Structure 1
């Protein structure tokens, strides 16, 4: 869905999160690599946006900075010959000094690379620039402040421009001892092949419901159960996506969209204009962007379910009361193939409108006019 917002993530984000849901296998892989004493110097943590990649990266960073290299602590066999006891989890207690220092961005041996704030433009930069990566080069050129690891988290590596990527590649090619780079990537295919080849890849999958539900209970405790269930459907296994949508009013926007779609082929023009006016008053354009993404997402959901004859069946979870009946009615208008064509046209309309900065209200009216034609076929 929407991109990373450093300000919004600051209150709930990975730097502060003590719990990781649903990625036990990935955690075990990292523990095993650390315990072997041959920890790869670079990891590429991949998966859909919002599934917990950054949370895992910070969790591993805390573990490394709290424990140091395997074998560096006094864990040898005791008087009775017992084997050393190694950690069986990456978790670090919230009252641990390393946890609190990382949460406050105050640990000398952890550096994070993300889109920085442009003071002149008074906005967050669209890319990670070379100056951001040079800070890593400077830090990695010095001895670790606490004698253990130096860790760098790049979140997300996809945001690096060409100069930043080439600068990072130099570090990957000649990493200093006890330095670990954790690269978070939503779309690793877009990274330089030379960067991918120098990292060990760790792929995270969307969470199953058994892990997603408790994650949302913890992350969104102020919402009622029905709202969390709706966001769980929208999230598609990505708790971070659910949190962002909750903050952006995603459920309310989708409910308004479905209400107007349900009136087709004769929508309430006054309500449609009012909805467009409300989106137009948001100068940032964030509300319209979320609306457009939800519009595409819900049509794709309709196409997939209609093609597999799954509307209301196994694997279909209703977001709002009446959504199933609406989806069945729309599926009866035309074939899934025709709906797929409309989904593509919706995407083209939104992309073209954004590229030339068309009036948002007019774009909304155009979208519903297109759906109205589909209803009249």
Structure 2
């Protein structure tokens, strides 16, 4: 049962259809061993930065479980999904009655993806588990990502996790697990994925059609994220990053022209992905600066930057929740930096 999900980045393969995963061999081995033991935890919290393969791993594991319903007879490794077998076809097409993908739904009135996963989406899982409870099959819910759950949805998920149905598996994805309810985290087994190494990122991008060496220049800017590499490559991310860094290096609001130019670029129509890239870039840059200040022993500056990163996260979240003007949202970012 495939639910609505945010639009796919240009050049990406949908996780449910992706037959290859790079850089997470240890995580795959852990999941295969845990399942084969017959004592696997009913909820796995798959943590890590956005765009490093969490959803692809979740779908690979779902394919593994449904292909080998008896844990004790399952192999000790997760093989690449076969897109031509019945399980692979059903998962890829969203036709599997044993896999539920919970993500931000599409607003029927606007045609756009909502900013949160609502409680109604989580309540659908009760119906999903009820419909399949008599089959004896594994039922797998992928929450992608749980960071997008609003408060009511998070509480609804918590109730299900507290009393999980038999042969139910919850794969809870999170870019920022610190935002989740502590009670949700405590009911999940944490599995943290690391950003991809440059060689693994190069292989992943090659799988998506990039020629060898074509994007060497952006790999170091991608921070181990395939999603960020695609944004840099296909959505003007390099220009945005260079403009942002240039403004920061100026260190003041004295020359507002480049700031207004960047804000207007990001506020233009059909620049949703570019704007998303900017919001992530701004927060990540400040966090990196805070780490650098702390390493250098400047604890006061590290504290200031840490508080600034929190303010940026809250600023972008408020702007998204209330659909605020993007130009003004971007302009205010630099007021927070230099104000």
TM-score over 0.5 for the pair? yes
Secondary structure of the structure 1 residue equivalent to 2:70: coil
1:269 & 1:190 partners in 2: Cα distance? 34
What TM-score, normalized to structure 2?
Answer: 0.78
Could you tell me which residue of structure 1 aligns to residue 180 of structure 2?
A: 191
Could you tell me which residue of structure 1 aligns to residue 7 of structure 2?
A: 7
- 1:219, 1:243 within 8 Å by CA — same for their partners in 2? no
1:145 & 1:249 partners in 2: Cα distance? 50
Unaligned runs of 5+ in 2: none
Could you tell me which residue of structure 1 aligns to residue 213 of structure 2?
A: 225
Bigger drift between 48-57 and 106-115 goes to 48-57
1:33 & 1:97 partners in 2: Cα distance? 25
Structure 1 residues 284 and 62, CA, compared in 2 at 3 Å: closer, same or farther?
same
Could you tell me which residue of structure 2 aligns to residue 360 of structure 1?
A: 327
1:181 is aligned, of 148, 162, 170, to 170
Structure 1 residues 170 and 267, CA, compared in 2 at 3 Å: closer, same or farther?
closer
Could you tell me which residue of structure 2 aligns to residue 106 of structure 1?
A: 95
**Alignment pair present for 1:203 and 2:170:** no
Secondary structure of the structure 1 residue equivalent to 2:220: helix
1:266 & 1:162 partners in 2: Cα distance? 37
Could you tell me which residue of structure 2 aligns to residue 45 of structure 1?
A: 46
2:181 & 2:326 partners in 1: Cα distance? 37
- 1:152, 1:182 within 8 Å by CA — same for their partners in 2? yes
CA offset at residue 151 of structure 1?
Answer: 0.9
- 2:240, 2:262 within 8 Å by CA — same for their partners in 1? no
**Alignment pair present for 1:127 and 2:127:** no
1:202 & 1:349 partners in 2: Cα distance? 27
Could you tell me which residue of structure 2 aligns to residue 36 of structure 1?
A: 37
Alignment of 1:1-377 (within 5 A): 6-9=6-9, 12-71=13-72, 86-143=75-132, 147-219=136-208, 221=210, 225=213, 228-257=215-244, 274-282=261-269, 287-288=274-275, 290-291=277-278, 293-295=280-282, 297-298=284-285, 357=324, 360=327, 367=334
CA offset at residue 40 of structure 1?
Answer: 2.0
CA offset at residue 35 of structure 1?
Answer: 1.1
CA offset at residue 367 of structure 1?
Answer: 4.0
CA offset at residue 291 of structure 1?
Answer: 3.7
Coordinate RMSD, CA, aligned: 4.0
Structure 1 residues 145 and 282, CA, compared in 2 at 3 Å: closer, same or farther?
same
Bigger drift between 355-364 and 251-260 goes to 355-364
Secondary structure of the structure 2 residue equivalent to 1:123: coil
Secondary structure of the structure 2 residue equivalent to 1:101: helix
1:342 & 1:175 partners in 2: Cα distance? 41
Query: Number of residues paired by the alignment?
Result: 330
- 1:69, 1:148 within 8 Å by CA — same for their partners in 2? no
> What is the CA deviation profile of residues 142-190 of structure 1, one whole-angstrom value per residue up to 9, with x for unaligned ones?
3358642111111111211222222222322222221111111122233
Structure 1 residues 232 and 170, CA, compared in 2 at 3 Å: closer, same or farther?
same
- 2:81, 2:88 within 8 Å by CA — same for their partners in 1? yes
Structure 1 residues 220 and 251, CA, compared in 2 at 3 Å: closer, same or farther?
farther
Bigger drift between 236-245 and 354-363 goes to 354-363
- 2:98, 2:132 within 8 Å by CA — same for their partners in 1? no
1:49 & 1:203 partners in 2: Cα distance? 12
Secondary structure of the structure 1 residue equivalent to 2:83: coil
